[in-house]
A and B are shown apart, each in its own frame.
Chain A
Amino acid sequence: MIEVAITHAFRDLTLDVAFASPARALALFGDSGAGKTSVLDAIAGLLEPQHGRIVLDGQCLFDHAARVAMPVSMRDVGYVFQDGRLFPHLRVHANLLYGARARRRSATDFARIVELLDLGDLLDRSPSTLSGGERQRVAIGRALLAQPRILLLDEPLTGLHREARAQVLGHLGRLKRELRVATLLVSHQADEVIALADEVVLLRAGNVAGQVDVAAFAAMQVPRVSGSAH
C-alpha cells in the first residue's frame, strides 16, 4: 500500500499530487513533463518535497510537518532509472549483487532472477559492452536483488529500439506474473501500462487527473488508438 500526498514547486511546474493505492502493480501515466519522475524521486528520497507525506506499507518515509525524511539508503526501494545507471567499473555479476551486499542480504533469489531476466550469458560482461535492452534488464535485476519493498520503474523502455523494447517488456511481464514484488511504473506509453499495471494514476501538468483500474484505462485508450489510425 502506498500513500503519496506531496506538493513541490519547480521553476516551470508545480507538483501537487495525492493518491493512495493497495495495487501490487501501479502505474503513473502522463505526458512528458507531467511530474511522473519527480513523484518517483520523492518516494525514493532523491527529491525532498516542500510539503506533504509519503507512506509505504504503513511506514512513513517522509512527512514534512513531522520533519521525517528517511535517508535514501534506508527506504528499501528499488529504483530502475531510465538510463540504467549501471556501475561502469563493475561487471554485470557485481552490479547485480551491489544492493544485496549494501543491505547485507543474501541474494537467495539470484539464480531465479538471472533466469527470469535471461542474464546468464551476461554475468562476466562489462556494462560498456551491453546493448540498451541488456543494460536495462541488468538494472532491473540489480534493483530486484536488493529485495526492495517496492520496485520503482522510471520509463524503463524509453530509448530502446523496437525489438529490445518488446523483449524487456516481456521480461517485466514475467516478473509481474512470477514475483510478488510491488511495482510502481512511470510511463507515457499506454501499451506498457496496460501490460504491466493493475491500477493507473493519471498525471497531468503536475496534478492527479484520475485513478482507474487497468481495464478502464485500456478502454480509455481505444478512441485514441482508432483516432490515430485515421
Chain B
Amino acid sequence: MHEVSIAESLIALIRRHLPAHQRLIRATVRIGPMHGVVPEAMEMAWNIASADSGWSGSRLRIVSPPWRLRCVACGRCWEPVTVDEPCVCGGTHVDILGGDEFQLDSIDVDSTAMHRRKKTAKSGDGRQRTFKTGVDHEHQSSHR
C-alpha cells in the first residue's frame, strides 16, 4: 500500500508549488505501470490525504502511459501488453523506453480561492469535506 506514501509525498510537493492563497482544483500525475500504483488505492489515499491538507474537492488525474520497449537485437519499438513480451524477432533483451514514468506534470489552481476561503472562514467551517473528491484515471492512447 505505497499509495498512501505516494499521496503524502505528492501533497508535500504540490504545497511547494501552490501559489499563495490559491486553491488546488486538480493535480495531474503521470505514472507508468512500472511503479505498480493501483488507481483505486490511489483514489482512497488521495481523498484522505488531500482532505487532511484542506484541499477537499481537489481531484487527481492519473495519466497511465503504456509500456514501450525496444528490442536490442533488431531495434524494433513496440508497446507490449505485459513487459515480459518477447520481440517477434526472437530477441531476448529489451530497453525500456516508456512505462517507468513517475512525475507530477501540473496543477490546476483556482486563483479566486482566497475570496472563497474568507467566506468559508466566516461560516466557521474551513475544513468541511463537502466537496466531491476523486481520481480521474486515463490510459494514454497506445497509438502514437
Partners in one complex: no
| Chain A interface residues toward B at CB < 8 A | none
